[in-house]
Amino acid sequence: MGAFGQKRGSIGLVLAGLLCSSAAPGLALADGKDGNTPPAKAETAKPGVAKVDAHAPLTEGERVLLERVEMLLDNVEQLKKRVAELESKDAKPAAETAVTREKDAEPGPSVHGATTASATPAGTTPSAALTSKPAGAVPSSMSTSITAAIGPNKESSTASVATQVPEKKKIEPFSDADWTWLNGNPRTKEIFWDSKFFTPEIRADINYVYDFNHPVDHSIGGSSELFRSSEVQLEQLGVGGDFHYDNVRARFLTQYGMYSATTPRNDPSPGHGQWDLVTAHRYLAEAYGGYHFDVWHGINVDAGIFLSYIGLFSYYNFDNWAYQPSYVSSNTPWFFEGVRVQIFPTAHLKIEPWFINGWQSYASANHKPGLGGQIKWTPKPWLNIISNNYGLGEDDLFIRGRSRIHTDNSIEVKYYDKPEKTLDKMAFSLTGDLGCEYGSGVSCYGNHKGGPKQSFVGWMGYNRFWFHRDLFGLTVGGGQINNPGRYLVLIPPINGETAVTAATNSPYFTGNPGDPFKAWDSSITFDYMPKQYITFRAEYDYRHANVPYWTGQGGITPPSGNTGSPQFFVCSNGSSSGQTSLGAAETACGGGSNSVWFPDLRKNESFIDLSILVKF
């Protein structure tokens, strides 16, 4: 009873309220007397007031009752402390627990905060478990009086109000809008199988091309997307995905199919030095690892092979509005190998500097690396602005001191979006490129003393229409380039010519300083997209150049197949002349202009390409 003595005032107030309603019956029961027997001496009591003698000795029943009140007050104090502790924690887990409890109808902790749902008998509801009265329980009138005596927990109430305000969390970059409409972005919105550690990705790209030039050898030149005609070809089978755990990240995607042969073929850098870099890299479209820093809206540092997106279009045709893009995309880099840093100051801005081996290269063509970067800004859900820039690198194999600079800038605008209409969406993209080379006999500004002008000017524009809730798509577009010196023109694969061998000599399609090349193209593309993971595509393309460039009916393969020495002229009998000049080749082949074989090159090309594109 010592503890009770310290709380005498509080208990006295409680007893005052308690005895107000049941003073006579309570005392009668406490004395062990019959409740119907009146007390020896009755006093007139005022309503709502009970007279209590604090100095009178307590009976056994009163002592038990007061001990229970004392225990209840201690429990209330403990509960107040526990509630304050819980409400000071994060409000979100508490809200989630409350939602889960409400959905599953599971009872929560008891008044003591120690008994969980497992302690509640089966078939007993939470309210029943908390309100059922065992024998000797404190009457409800006592509970009411205690509440009135101690009052509400003001500190807990204040903490509860404060914690109800959710903490403002950072938005993941470019995640607060639907960007699947963009040219160069995949339209898949759901990943069937994902985990905390790995996000898988599978791509399949199969095409068939009908070329109206009807080349006898089925070979198509001047493209980084289409390579064979009159055949069903696997363009790419990509398998891989993203690894991400504890801020460490990595990604890889394979490229089995035509890409594994044609993409390395356009890179001259493996001709610089030893080791077979083409074999080492040909089956990897992307392969890098890095780390994510939780600064601003994120900073990623990655090293390896990563996509460039110069020219707006994606390396993967599933992501694009058209299959065969115009020259400012098809003739510019699809990938880089080096180091990139992706900085996200806001949720709508990315600044991405690059330190790379060179212009779409596995290695450095000379001794200078390349520098560049991308800035991507999406101020509105219907607007995307991208700027890519490159410089410093010396990318012409075997030519020291010749540097390249290039800028590529795009804007994409979704100017119509009405999902309830048959024509539900429209958007356009516009891209412009400028660049040049300077040093070692060429100049950016014309035929100055530095040499002939070696530059690149080009543009392309596309307009996309979506119908019937994006079930169908229609794209029209095209572009134009002017590239004197031809340093960004894709060398036709005549007699197996590659970027490495062309750096030594390309007898049938030269790339000398000042050599002219102007071209334009147009296309119309129809897409059927029954599911987000597949596209059935049909496209018609027309392309024109001011010099013979496209494969004609006679083909670009010598009569007896490739000679293995594309830097030399080929004799009419299919053998190599061993000569890099036409006069010497005619002599070596037996004399006369008819003794030397020539590929069939045309100024015009038109074709229809059909494709099935899959992405998971």
Among 307-311, 321-325, 482-486, the minimum mean pLDDT is found in: 307-311
Check residue 76 and give its pLDDT.
76
User: Could you tell me if 315 and 323 are in contact, meaning their C-beta atoms sit under 8 angstroms apart?
Assistant: no
Of 552, 599, 548, 609, nearest to 213 by C-alpha is: 552
Q: How far apart are alpha carbons 95 and 89 in whole angstroms?
A: 11
Report residue 448's pLDDT band, with 50, 70 and 90 as the boundaries: low
Average pLDDT of the chain is 81
Q: What are phi and psi of 264, to 5 degrees?
A: -65, -25
Q: How far apart are alpha carbons 577 and 584 in whole angstroms?
A: 8
| pLDDT higher than 60, residue 368 | yes
The residue assigned the tokens 């508490």 is: 94
User: Could you tell me if 208 and 611 are in contact, meaning their C-beta atoms sit under 8 angstroms apart?
Assistant: yes
DSSP state of 190: -
Q: How far apart are alpha carbons 317 and 379 in whole angstroms?
A: 26
Tell me the mean pLDDT in the region 454-480: 97
Tell me the mean pLDDT in the region 336-345: 96
pLDDT digits (tens, 9 = 90+) for 470-489: 999 999 999 999 999 999 99
pLDDT digits (tens, 9 = 90+) for 539-588: 999 999 999 999 999 999 999 999 999 999 999 999 999 999 999 999 99
pLDDT digits (tens, 9 = 90+) for 17-39: 433 343 333 333 333 333 333 33
Q: What domains lie within the chain, and their CATH numbers?
A: 2-117+135-163 (no CATH), 198-554+604-615 (2.40.160.10), 557-598 (no CATH)
| pLDDT higher than 80, residue 122 | no
Check residue 164 and give its pLDDT.
55
Note the pTM of the prediction, 2 decimals.
0.72
Q: How far apart are alpha carbons 333 and 335 in whole angstroms?
A: 6
Q: How far apart are alpha carbons 404 and 395 in whole angstroms?
A: 7
Check residue 75 and give its pLDDT.
78
| pLDDT higher than 80, residue 169 | no
pLDDT digits (tens, 9 = 90+) for 252-295: 999 999 999 999 999 999 999 999 999 999 999 999 999 999 99
Tell me the mean pLDDT in the region 423-434: 97
Check residue 125 and give its pLDDT.
35
Check residue 167 and give its pLDDT.
59
| pLDDT higher than 90, residue 15 | no
| pLDDT higher than 60, residue 155 | no
CA of 205: how far to CAs of 202, 432, 579, 613, in Å? 10, 28, 40, 5
* Non-local CB neighbours of 118 within 8 Å, separated by 6+ positions: none
